[in-house]
Structure 1
Amino acid sequence: MKVAVVTDSNSGITQAQAKEMGVYVLPMPFMIDGTEYLEDINLTQKEFYEHLSGDHDVSTSQPSPETILNLWEKLLEEYDAVVHIPMSSGLSSSCQTAKMLADDFDGKVQVADNHRISVTQRRSVQDALDMAAAGMDAEAICKKLEETGLDSTIYVTVDTLKYLKKGGRITPAAAALGTLLRLKPVLTIQGEKLDAFAKARTMKQARSMMITAITRDLENRFDDMTGEKTYIDVAHTDNDEMAQELAAELRELFPETEVRVEPLSLSVACHIGPGALAIAATKKLEIGSLL
């Protein structure tokens, strides 16, 4: 079976990278001062952060059903089936929309809700490509993605509470107090949603907390003290220099694994603002054991 792999730009995969990888990426729409922009089509990372920092009205949206259907129908002219990997259903309604639309394709479109976003979602896309290359059919790929979806973990610290307040994730009073005390909250994504994890007084302390948390997850959840069986990613929102420093620390701790640095997807950046840092770990999928 010839299987096409589709995702959205929440994965952080650019249109150029998609061509190199052999996947198809739906650009996520953003409304900025009432005008719609498409990520990586007519909205670059630089332009996005200029709008966000300039106090423009910026909000996230989702691809239209027509856009999704047109892509699937075009792909099914060339492929036998499609595996579609949207961002987690706990973070966006785009997954439920895709599942509903797929009902009319008689199993030729499989939508995987594997509870991931950004760099962990990107890892799922690569896993799907590897499974397709190994000869697995779309239904089996989708099933495995959903079975292993929670084999990932993300910790995020933000530079400002402004955008969490704007999105209603913390109250104005909590934001004012946190700003006064110069708190750097550490947040976590464990599949369904963005949750509070800890509070730090400095970015250095927040980085230390994230490293401790990811190390604990590797040991206790993934049974991997060396990082050999785990992918580690550092992600950021317009904060590459500090992300590279954090990655260097992790490479010393986990020399057995590659530590990659990537920008966080704009949909995440919209809610946490510039200057944020994240560490993600994803358990490696052993494709050979599935065949």
Structure 2
Amino acid sequence: MTVAVVTDSTASLDPDDAAREGITVVPTTVIIGPRVYTEGVDVTSQMIADALAAGVPVSTSRPSPETFQSVYEALAATGAEAIVSVHISSRVSGTVDAARLAAGRVNVPVTIVDTFQAGLATGFAAGSAARAGSAGADAEQMATAAREAARSAKVLLYVDTLEYLRRGGRIGRAAALIGSALSVKPILTIDDGLVAPLEKVRTSSKALARLEALAVEQVATYPGDYDIGVQHLASADVAASIAASLSERLGRTDIPVDEVGADIGAHVGPGAIAVTVGAR
């Protein structure tokens, strides 16, 4: 059986990686001021960073059910006999709801996976589903692989300010940190599908050092191979430095450094650094 894998652009997959693994990425919508853009088509993370720095309103919108329906129908028309659709946490986005609505409108069976994750952790889950499919798994086995990858993944996020998460309604349990002393720099994670505080550190430099240490500690819990990635918004030098240090500590030379996607960037803001790890 031919099973297609679909995800959304919040998964932050490199286009080359998505193409290599046969993953179809459905773009989200990004609104900067009065203009509407499509992630991966006509908006960049730098545009998001510049707009936020200039105080221009930035917001995002899930893909519509009609968009998902068109994608599912196109995949079926090209030979897909089933689809596994892997998406950002339903607790921070309506993307899963849109995908489920679309799934009920098409003739091909679609299994929806709510990862209860965000960013690269969702991407890792989609990648696990695709690899399982390449190894001969059926749709349900692929969905199980995606869910297991999502459960194993750990998002470690540093933000310069919680303001952008607050504005976008994505702050979750980290809302408890608003009003803390300005010198306190939180390290955040995704817990049960919501943004949640993990640790509070006194300075940015200490927070970033702790982010790196936590990533190394998480990797040590995995019995075998793992995925890892470093992402940033308008903080390339810092991200590269963290990746280089992680490469030395973990004995790897393949830790990618990328800007976060425009949708995620709109909510974390300039200066954000994320390290995401997950068992393969």
Structure 1 letter corresponding to 2:31? M
Structure 2 letter corresponding to 1:152? A
SS in 1 for 2:145: helix
Larger CA deviation: 142-151 vs 240-249: 142-151
Structure 1 letter corresponding to 2:219? L
CA distance in 2, matches of 1:127, 1:223: 15
Q: How many residues matched?
A: 276
CA distance in 2, matches of 1:174, 1:83: 38
Shift of 1:16: 5.7
Q: 1:105 to 1:138 in 2, by over 3 A?
A: farther
Structure 1 letter corresponding to 2:10? N
Partner of 2:55: 55
CA distance in 2, matches of 1:5, 1:183: 41
Partner of 2:279: 283
- Percent identical pairs in the alignment equals 28
Partner of 1:274: 270
SS in 1 for 2:132: helix
Give 1:1-291 correspondences, 5 Å limit: 1-13=1-13, 15=15, 18-78=18-78, 79-105=80-106, 108-167=109-168, 169=171, 174-175=178-179, 178=181, 181-219=182-220, 222-224=221-223, 229-255=225-251, 258-284=254-280
TM-score when normalising by structure 2 = 0.88
Larger CA deviation: 29-38 vs 51-60: 29-38
Partner of 1:289: none
TM-score when normalising by structure 1 = 0.85
Larger CA deviation: 263-272 vs 165-174: 165-174
Q: Deviations over 1:109-146 (max 9, x none)?
A: 11112223211222222212211111212222113322
SS in 2 for 1:76: helix
CA distance in 2, matches of 1:213, 1:201: 16
Specify every segment of 5 or more residues in structure 1 that has no aligned partner in the other structure, as ranges. 285-291
Shift of 1:14: 5.0
The answer (yes or no) to whether the contact 1:119–1:262 under 8 Å persists in 2 is no
The answer (yes or no) to whether the contact 1:3–1:82 under 8 Å persists in 2 is yes
Shift of 1:266: 2.5
